[in-house]
């Protein structure tokens, strides 16, 4: 937001950025602005179009509060709040391409984003290809003259491969394409894709930014060079996030740093504990030394998130049901990022086209929330016991 907040610690930024109590009669938070019509006083005013706000769809002080916090955190030129994480992905992709262009998407990327590319962009005349998330500098060999965008998600939010963002950025730029990175897992607290060469960063704000499982939102942050295209597409398509939703994102953001710290600690403790349990054949958490991309994670990230996966030894469906059906604290559901722990059985098969998922056994993804860690371990220990009996 200001030069001052750029220099501050993230904790200070999260606490102070994007709000100005003096503008709100001394109240600490920017309230919910609800509005479509914005009034102009004179013909000269409406002709000049220089008022800070012109019409509801372009944003209001509540949405701007969120946007300036994320801009500060990502070190971006600007940020736009949009109705969902998926909307952030679709706008970002559309901002890069015209009919006849080509895009490359990580094989580990969020599945609804793939469906948008395959089901919509292809129909609009854009060719869509996928790449191995571990391709690194090898991306250069996949670039075509008409490749205009590369979409990475690091780590993949089901299988947790870390991508070499500086190498991908170099290859994308050499070929005249922009690099889009989904940074939902680490948040800008622990990973800064723009500083490593990305052009556009997207977030499922629904997850960590909101933090309480009670609203859907997305953000798009860009470099100065990429901004105009993103804002043009968003404006043309009419995407807008309400003041009510924006208020809840802003409220969640104020505690992001302390939540991430707790999520990180708890997730790591449970991941390490799972690694030594009998039924577990692998734990997919990039901050564990056993993870194949641990070195890359250590090079580029300063922390880790709430979310990881683990693989249990091969067993029939009945064992998976025995595991998840009687959990007492972990609940089953899509999404993640709230205060409550979640456990989701995952089948990768159809979500991959470059390389089949070859890991034997049953995959589970967990989000570690704020219940007592020992209570969570006990819940998982009982589930592992049930799995072992059913296997």
Ligand X SMILES: *Cc1c(COP(=O)(O)O)cnc(C)c1O
Longest dimension (CA), the chain: 78
Active-site pick, 101, 164, 182, 245: 182
In angstroms, give the least distance from the CB of 119 to ligand X.
16
Q: Can you tell me the distance from the alpha carbon of 102 to that of 147, in angstroms, rounded to the nearest whole number?
A: 4
80: annotated active-site residue: no
Closest alpha carbon to 366 in 333, 388, 389: 333
Question: Do residues 273 and 377 lie in contact, with contact meaning Cβ atoms separated by under 8 Å?
Answer: yes
The residues binding ligand X (CB under 6 A) are: 84-86, 110, 153, 157, 182, 184, 204, 206-207, 216, 218, 335
Catalytic-role residue among 78, 80, 207, 365: 207
The neighbouring-strand residues paired with 80 are 220
Which of 211, 208, 154, 162 lies closest to 181, judged by CA?
Answer: 154
Cα gap 215→212, rounded to integer Å: 8
Cβ closest to ligand X, residue 61 vs residue 113: 113
Contacts of 265 (CB under 8 A, 6+ apart): none
Buried residues in 181-199 as b, exposed as e (16+ CB within 10 A):
bbbbbbbbbbbbbbebbbb
CA–CA dist 200, 194 (Å, integer): 7
Dihedrals phi, psi of 323, to nearest 5 degrees = -70, -55
Position closest to ligand X via CB: 85
With b meaning 16 or more CB within 10 Å and e meaning fewer, what string describes 316-346?
eeebbebbbeebeebeeeeebbbebbbbbee
Query: 56 vs 112, which CB is nearer to ligand X?
Result: 112
57 given a catalytic annotation: yes
C-beta closer to ligand X: residue 18 or 305: 305
Is 131 one of the catalytic residues?
Answer: no
Q: CB 77 → ligand X: shortest distance, Å? A: 22
Shortest Cβ 309–ligand X spacing (Å): 13
Distance in Å, CB of 377 to ligand X, minimum: 25
Which CB, 1 or 246, lies closer to ligand X? Answer: 246
Active site residue 214: no
Between CA 217 and CA 250 the distance in angstroms is 11
Name, in order, each residue with C-beta under 8 angstroms of 292's C-beta and a sequence gap of 6 or more: 161
Residue 25 or 334 having the CB closest to ligand X: 334
23, 34, 55, 57: the catalytic one is 57
For residue 374, the minimal CB distance to ligand X (Å) is: 28
Choosing from 33, 110, 131, 247, which is the catalytic residue?
A: 110
- Which of 166, 218 has the CB closer to ligand X? 218
DSSP classification of residue 331: B
State the catalytic residues: 57, 110, 182, 207
């Amino acid at each position: 937001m200001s030069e001052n907040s750029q220099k501050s610690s993230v904790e200070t930024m999260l606490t102070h950025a994007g709000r100005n109590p003096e503008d709100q009669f001394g109240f600490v938070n920017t309230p919910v602005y609800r509005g479509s019509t914005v009034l102009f006083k004179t013909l000269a005013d409406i002709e000049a179009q220089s008022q800070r706000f012109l019409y509801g769809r372009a944003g209001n002080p509540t949405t701007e509060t969120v946007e300036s916090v994320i801009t500060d955190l990502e070190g971006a030129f600007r940020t736009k709040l949009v109705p969902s994480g998926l909307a952030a992905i679709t706008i970002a992709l559309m901002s890069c391409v015209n009919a006849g262009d080509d895009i490359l998407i990580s094989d580990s990327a969020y599945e609804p984003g793939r469906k948008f590319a395959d089901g919509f962009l292809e129909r609009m005349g854009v060719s869509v290809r996928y790449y191995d998330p571990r391709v690194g500098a090898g991306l250069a060999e996949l670039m075509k003259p008409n490749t205009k965008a590369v979409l990475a998600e690091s780590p993949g939010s089901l299988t947790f491969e870390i991508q070499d963002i500086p190498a991908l950025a170099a290859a994308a730029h050499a070929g005249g394409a922009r690099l889009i990175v989904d940074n939902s897992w680490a948040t800008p607290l622990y990973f800064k894709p723009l500083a490593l060469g990305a052009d556009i960063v997207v977030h499922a704000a629904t997850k960590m930014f909101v933090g309480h499982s009670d609203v859907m939102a997305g953000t798009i942050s860009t470099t100065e060079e990429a901004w105009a295209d993103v804002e043009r597409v968003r404006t043309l398509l009419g995407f807008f996030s309400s003041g009510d939703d924006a208020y809840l994102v802003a409220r969640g953001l104020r505690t992001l740093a302390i939540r991430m710290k707790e999520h990180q600690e708890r997730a790591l403790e449970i991941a390490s504990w799972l690694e030594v349990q009998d039924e577990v054949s692998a734990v997919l958490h990039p901050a564990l030394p056993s993870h194949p991309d641990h070195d890359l994670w250590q090079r580029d990230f300063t922390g880790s998130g709430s979310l990881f996966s683990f693989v249990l030894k091969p067993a029939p469906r009945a064992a998976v049901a025995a595991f998840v059906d009687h959990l007492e604290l972990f609940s089953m559901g899509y999404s993640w990022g709230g205060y409550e722990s979640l456990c989701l059985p995952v089948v990768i098969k159809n979500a991959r086209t470059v390389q089949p998922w070859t890991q034997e056994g049953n995959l589970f993804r967990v989000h570690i929330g704020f219940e007592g860690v020992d209570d969570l371990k006990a819940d998982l220990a009982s589930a592992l016991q049930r799995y072992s009996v059913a296997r």
